[in-house]
Structure 1
Amino acid sequence: MFTIYNFIIQIISVLIIPLALISKKIKKGVVGREKTFEFLKSCIEPKDQIFWFHCASLGEYEQGLPVFKFFKKKYPKVKIVLSFFSPSGYEVKKDNYLTPLTVYLPLDTKKNAINFIKILNPKMVVFVKYDLWPNYLKILNNCDAKVFLISALFTPNHYFFKWYGKLLSKVLLSFDQIFTQDEDSKKLLKSLGISKVSVCGDTRYDRVLKQLEKKVNFESIEKFIDKKTCLIAGSTWQQDHELLIQYINKNPNKIKLIIAPHEINYKEIIKLKNKFKNTAELYSNFDNKYVHQKETLVVDCIGILKQLYKYANIAYVGGGMGNNGLHNSLEPAVYGIPIIIGKNYKKFPEAVDMISNGGMKSVRNYKEFQNCLNYFIDNKKIRQECGNKNKEFIEANKGATQIISKKIEEFLKN
């Protein structure tokens, strides 16, 4: 199976070059990966002790960050290498306070894996969730590094549990310990003969609770809302936009909308703004003097969404109307507000739980979205009840960071 896998990776490494000519996102990844080895060689000396943290993208970074912070503080002399696979993670977090050694992870060829791990010679390695690369894990299995997987989440649909992936699943034995989010993931791993597993929960709950400690205020946002009911729609895609545009254009002056698209592309942002009937403005163009006269604010920058949610009376989290994947619904939940999402959410345990608890509502089409939003707008008491359920849910699930960090530390001491 490894032979077939390596053959596929080699094909991908060839095909990705012409694809980079037509996709800016792919091009960023290709160009970035070409610089990884040279950059690391210039920054790492043989005497350095290295902790390597790997994340697929921005979501996994946010998930792993509470644990990363713990070890940065605990071991200040250790150099941290942070790697991303996706440009949407690297481009946002290449300049971070955690480490200057932030890189793209080279493609998972055997040669790349050997070279990368030889340069780092890491003392500890942490992977987040399920971005697992067989060649890297196979090479790590022959090293002295302590290797961990945190906030792991598996379903029967993961390729490790399919007939064609069971042989590759043996690389999971490379981990000294796997920390899963739920009991179901542990049971699935047990079916593969993986026994070094602990159920510790999701570190994102600890991460979003930290948001409450940040006292960031946006005067222009306060003036824009002007004490009216405000819906903040975060990490939205085209299918989400269709609902929001239709509602605002059919219901003028009923609600203030702040919309933060998942992808910031200037041409697409302008198109989106223009679909709102002369009621929208870009965040970057806001004039505080006239800001209250607008009905819709389109956020055309990154990095502020999680702070903006505190101004919302209602949140809409994007990704669930299509197949892009539901985005982080814990970020608005921590502020004690009700949440609306699309129809595709079953792969996200936190969404399933919040819907079950009554703090989140799922909609399948515009009619359901309209009815749900109107219900929240017209019933302040219901908004507060649903929001409180979400806040209590966050509080009830905190603590994974401390459990995981202490257990990893025990391994490092042995």
Structure 2
Amino acid sequence: MLQTFYTILLYLFQPLVWLRLWLRGRKAPAYRRRWGERYGFCAEKVKLNGIMLHSVSVGETLAAIPLVRALRHRYPSLPITVTTMTPTGSERVRSAFGNDVYHVYLPYDLPCALKRFFDQANPKLVIIMETELWPNLITELYRRDIPLVIANARLSERSATGYKKIGFFMRSILRRITLIAAQTQEDGERFIDLGLQRSHLAITGSLKFDISVTPELAARAVALRRQWASRRPVWIATSTHEGEEAMILAAHSELLRRFPNLLLILVPRHPERFSTTQALTNNLGFTYSLRSSGEVPSLETQVVIGDTMGELMLLYGIADLAFVGGSLIESGGHNPLEPAAHALPVLMGPHTFNFKDICQKLSNAGGLITVNDTTSIVKEVTSLLADEDYRLYYGRHAVEVLHQNQGALQRLLSLLEPYLPQRSNSSI
């Protein structure tokens, strides 16, 4: 009964969904395109009998990249379809894989849209990254006897408390999921408390640790650093949200008094905010350039605005230290392991609940520094830039945490094997 009521509400809300997409399209025109895919119209954009992986947006897509590459290597004959919900996630898929995978938006959780989509895709296995629990999607897969694995799953105490209010409904949904591969034992126990059968739970660790800096990427970063700032200190602030750029730029203004040749690379989280960040940087009187322009920063350039997609790991490779945004405001923070992979000291604000376990590991090991405001940013960045040993200490411990916690990818691949065709020796 509750699922029926939920479905009716979803249908009734569709005009509001269209309005929201249209309004978001004012700043990001991509939201006004490909609406048919959101209702399951994806003929010739997907291929039958493959693997489908869903990552709702950029963060989940980044975590999924090693998994998708490993699946392509192990099962070269199976087509892979990667679905997302946002244009930025879509762009990240295209940037990472090109034509090696199929890509569409995941349809809304409407029975008719899902039926249409799975009639065209009919995957052998569906993998959903982290915790996207869509009742009608889960029910449709269960009805078709298609295995569903929730990979890299996490469930916060707050979310679990909310789900408990509809406990009976959640139990019925969770028991239709083939397997939940949780990041931590704590996450797993919350799923058990909600009604998941323990035999359908595995603890794999976080896939976010299974990233690395390839030799090709390292070489590109070294070349770009020589071109941009061979004799200049560089710090980078990434995934920043509204309000954070102003704090970062205020800190940079103070830091320039101590380090006059310091270069800041500033990368907003969302592409629709590139122009507002540029305007703010200009209004505050900084000399700046845009990464998209292709210009080499001059010695007078104080800020480079990272207004391109798919280059974050490359830009980290240019820097001496990194601030990761979404953490000075109550957004929960973004992934600190990407700069850690480059052995960079990592600074974040106090709001890191999206990466609670990861940030705790980094902090305990001396790989993460918490800052609260402009004053503390200036203090910590000054210390890191002025003392190379101090900077290397934090960077070394950050990358050690990354290496010590890897292995989730191999554990997950082993768990997926029963649901996929047996591999030939050449694909192992």
Q: TM-score, normalised by structure 1?
A: 0.91
For the Cα contact (< 8 Å) 2:334–2:354, is it kept in 1?
no
> Which ranges of structure 2 fall in alignment gaps of 5 or more residues?
423-428
Counterpart of 2:244?
240
Counterpart of 1:390?
398
For the Cα contact (< 8 Å) 2:222–2:318, is it kept in 1?
no
For the Cα contact (< 8 Å) 1:226–1:292, is it kept in 2?
no
- Offset, 1:35: 3.8
Deviations 1:215-246 (A, max 9, x none): 32464543432322211111112322122211
Counterpart of 2:386?
378
CA, structure 1 residues 291+44, in 2 after alignment: closer, same or farther (shift >3 Å)? closer
- Offset, 1:58: 1.6
Counterpart of 1:50?
50
CA, structure 1 residues 286+292, in 2 after alignment: closer, same or farther (shift >3 Å)? farther
> Which ranges of structure 1 fall in alignment gaps of 5 or more residues?
none
CA, structure 1 residues 197+360, in 2 after alignment: closer, same or farther (shift >3 Å)? same
Counterpart of 2:124?
123
1:61 partnered with 2:61: yes
CA, structure 1 residues 98+44, in 2 after alignment: closer, same or farther (shift >3 Å)? closer
Question: One-letter code of the match for 2:365?
Answer: N
- Offset, 1:279: 2.6
- Offset, 1:166: 2.1
**Residue 305 (structure 1) aligned to one of 312, 318, 323:** 312
For the Cα contact (< 8 Å) 1:64–1:150, is it kept in 2?
no
Aligned counterparts, 1:59-138, within 5 A: 59-94=59-94, 96-97=97-98, 99-138=100-139
Counterpart of 2:7?
6
CA RMSD of aligned residues (A): 2.4
Deviations 1:340-385 (A, max 9, x none): 1112013312112212222111112222222222222222211111
1:189 partnered with 2:197: no
CA, structure 1 residues 55+143, in 2 after alignment: closer, same or farther (shift >3 Å)? same
SS at match of 2:4: helix
Q: TM-score, normalised by structure 2?
A: 0.88
**Residue 209 (structure 1) aligned to one of 202, 212, 231:** 212
Counterpart of 2:143?
142
Question: One-letter code of the match for 2:371?
Answer: V
Question: One-letter code of the match for 1:317?
Answer: V
CA, structure 1 residues 82+141, in 2 after alignment: closer, same or farther (shift >3 Å)? same
CA, structure 1 residues 155+251, in 2 after alignment: closer, same or farther (shift >3 Å)? closer
Distance 1:34 1:120 in 2: 15
CA, structure 1 residues 286+87, in 2 after alignment: closer, same or farther (shift >3 Å)? closer
Deviations 1:98-148 (A, max 9, x none): 645211111101222222222222111111001221100011112232221
- Offset, 1:286: 5.6
CA, structure 1 residues 66+251, in 2 after alignment: closer, same or farther (shift >3 Å)? closer
- Offset, 1:6: 1.6
Question: One-letter code of the match for 2:354?
Answer: K
CA, structure 1 residues 189+62, in 2 after alignment: closer, same or farther (shift >3 Å)? same
Counterpart of 1:33?
35
**Residue 367 (structure 2) aligned to one of 359, 373, 376:** 359
SS at match of 1:41: coil
- Offset, 1:287: 4.3
With 310-319 and 253-262 compared, the bigger mean Cα shift is at 253-262
CA, structure 1 residues 285+146, in 2 after alignment: closer, same or farther (shift >3 Å)? closer
For the Cα contact (< 8 Å) 2:246–2:280, is it kept in 1?
no
Distance 1:160 1:6 in 2: 22
For the Cα contact (< 8 Å) 1:81–1:101, is it kept in 2?
yes
1:262 partnered with 2:250: no
1:172 partnered with 2:180: no
Counterpart of 1:222?
226
CA, structure 1 residues 238+221, in 2 after alignment: closer, same or farther (shift >3 Å)? farther
Distance 2:33 2:246 in 1: 35
- Offset, 1:150: 0.6
SS at match of 1:103: strand
CA, structure 1 residues 232+211, in 2 after alignment: closer, same or farther (shift >3 Å)? farther
For the Cα contact (< 8 Å) 2:221–2:317, is it kept in 1?
no
For the Cα contact (< 8 Å) 1:329–1:351, is it kept in 2?
yes
**Residue 341 (structure 2) aligned to one of 326, 334, 358:** 334
CA, structure 1 residues 379+217, in 2 after alignment: closer, same or farther (shift >3 Å)? closer
SS at match of 2:271: coil
Distance 2:183 2:351 in 1: 20
Deviations 1:253-295 (A, max 9, x none): 512211111123453143133044333222234644x622322
SS at match of 1:21: helix
For the Cα contact (< 8 Å) 2:326–2:332, is it kept in 1?
yes
1:231 partnered with 2:235: yes
CA, structure 1 residues 413+311, in 2 after alignment: closer, same or farther (shift >3 Å)? same
Identity %: 21
Distance 1:44 1:339 in 2: 39
Deviations 1:281-338 (A, max 9, x none): 22234644x6223222112212111112122111111111113331121110011111
With 271-280 and 129-138 compared, the bigger mean Cα shift is at 271-280
Question: One-letter code of the match for 1:175?
Answer: I
Question: One-letter code of the match for 1:243?
Answer: M
Distance 1:98 1:333 in 2: 29
Give the length in aligned residue pairs. 410
Distance 1:39 1:262 in 2: 30
SS at match of 2:279: helix
CA, structure 1 residues 16+27, in 2 after alignment: closer, same or farther (shift >3 Å)? farther
For the Cα contact (< 8 Å) 2:38–2:105, is it kept in 1?
yes
